[in-house]
Amino acid sequence: MIKRDLEDLLHRWRSSFPVITITGPRQSGKTTLCRSVFADLPYVSFEDPDRQELFHEDPRGFLAGYMNGAVFDEVQNVPELARYLQRIVDERPAAATFVLTGSQQFGVMSRISQSLAGRTAVSHLLPFTLGELYRDERAGVDLNTVLFTGLYPPVHDRDIAPRDFYSSYVQTYIERDVRDLLNVRDLSTFRRFVRLCAARSGRLLNRTELADDAGVSPNTVASWLAVLEASYIVFVLRPYYRNFNKRLIKTPKLYFFDTGLAAWLLGIRSTDDLDISPYRGSLFETFVVAECMKFFRHRGDEPPLYFWRDRKGTEVDLLYERAGIIRPVEARSGATLTSASFSGIDRFLRVAEGTADPQLVYGGEESGVRNGVRYRSWRELTEGIFNLE
């Protein structure tokens, strides 16, 4: 099993919390991780309809068999579980550890926030990071392969071709979540909507334009985007809130968590396709931003990440805030750096105060410093960016 960055945090939490909640997209490795870290606990999957039925028929009787703790997988299928666990952990706070996993934020977090507030630690397991998957072997992989294959565990663990995995993933998981949460019957329109979202990864999120292109109402766009966010398919990056000047864009940007899924939705079927694809730059930016999000999520932290863009279109892809200091990070997919590569950071540094350690991540191999900006090879994500001690 490939070691996940979240493991150390889970071991630490086990001695402090009676309940540990792990959410994340389907096929991100939650079950594998839990069965490894909590190997001493019985495992129960509520994907099994028989288990669901047993629980619904007699919740207290069902849980009586697991009073010493258990791993309960896909708990969004038994939303009442959290309420019954509350009583158990209140009566026996140090007697057992219960681990809950789920693939839908709607189905998991709403009940947990009501019933287990203060009793559970919550973490997010996303697809592999570059560092998790390759560790000390990053020199042996090329950038196009990373962007095309993505970082979902089954693509790397089971020798499944990316096009086969992502085709099945969309039909089996994403569309099923939509049916479960919204009862959508016209899946063809939803498929078109998801592809339109992939084409907008790394771009400002214009919901009105997206609604027009998809042929649905703005309210439908809001509902469908909420489902994709709840299923950990996409996320939005907010513009930085500090008013460096009054001519800033206030619209968020849309990103996919995984470039392999986005590439498949865009019709990219090989690494060679990436070389001629107009989406390669946005996929690289998506890769950089998603890696940074995962870096914090896998350490149990809320990502302190934003972007900056003025009304002239000058942009910095990421702002990382730490101890009141803003650190700009720019992404450039090309393997060659020019003066234009640094234009966004240069503009930002002229108008912003309280900034430090500007960095640029690009598609090349060398790292160094140029005009006060540290440039890093994509292979150094994300250890290089956040190693600021």
Domains parsed from the chain with CATH numbers: 7-124 (3.40.50.300), 130-386 (no CATH)
The answer to pTM > 0.85 is: yes
4-44 per-position pLDDT tens digit: 999 999 999 998 899 999 999 999 999 999 999 999 999 99
Confidence of residue 194 (pLDDT cuts 50, 70, 90): very high
Would you say residue 46 has pLDDT above 80? yes
Q: In whole angstroms, what is the distance from residue 38 CA to residue 1 CA?
A: 14
Would you say residue 112 has pLDDT above 50? yes
> Three-state SS across the chain?
CCCCCCHHHHHHHHCCCCEEEEECCCCCCHHHHHHHHCCCCCEEECCCHHHHHHHHHCHHHHHHHHCCEEEEECHHHCCCHHHHHHHHHHHCCCCCEEEEEECCHHHHHHHHHHHCCCCEEEEECCCCCHHHHHCCCHHHCCHHHHHHHCCCHHHHHCCCCHHHHHHHHHHHHHHHHHHHHHCCCCHHHHHHHHHHHHHCCCEECCHHHHHHHHCCCHHHHHHHHHHHHHCCCEEEECECCCCCCCCECCCCEEEECCHHHHHHHCCCCCHHHHHHCCCHHHHHHHHHHHHHHHHHHCCCCCCCEEEEEECCCCEEEEEEEECCEEEEEEEECCCCCCHHHHHHHHHHHHHCCCECCCEEEECCCCCEEECCEEEEEHHHCCHHHHCCC
Would you say residue 159 has pLDDT above 50? yes
pLDDT at 382: 77
Average pLDDT of the chain is 90
Confidence of residue 389 (pLDDT cuts 50, 70, 90): very low
Give yes or no for a contact between 89 and 119, defined as CB atoms under 8 angstroms apart. Answer: yes
pLDDT at 95: 67
74-94 per-position pLDDT tens digit: 998 898 999 999 999 888 766
- Mean pLDDT for the stretch of residues 209-238: 94
Q: In whole angstroms, what is the distance from residue 13 CA to residue 269 CA?
A: 42
- Tell me the percentage of the chain whose pLDDT exceeds 90: 69
Which of 90-99, 198-207, 350-359 has the lowest average pLDDT?
Answer: 90-99
134-156 per-position pLDDT tens digit: 876 766 789 999 999 999 999 99
Q: In whole angstroms, what is the distance from residue 195 CA to residue 60 CA?
A: 44
Give yes or no for a contact between 63 and 46, defined as CB atoms under 8 angstroms apart. Answer: no
Confidence of residue 1 (pLDDT cuts 50, 70, 90): confident
pLDDT at 388: 47
pLDDT at 110: 67
259-279 per-position pLDDT tens digit: 999 999 999 999 999 999 999
Query: How close are the terminal C-alpha atoms of the chain, in Å?
Result: 30
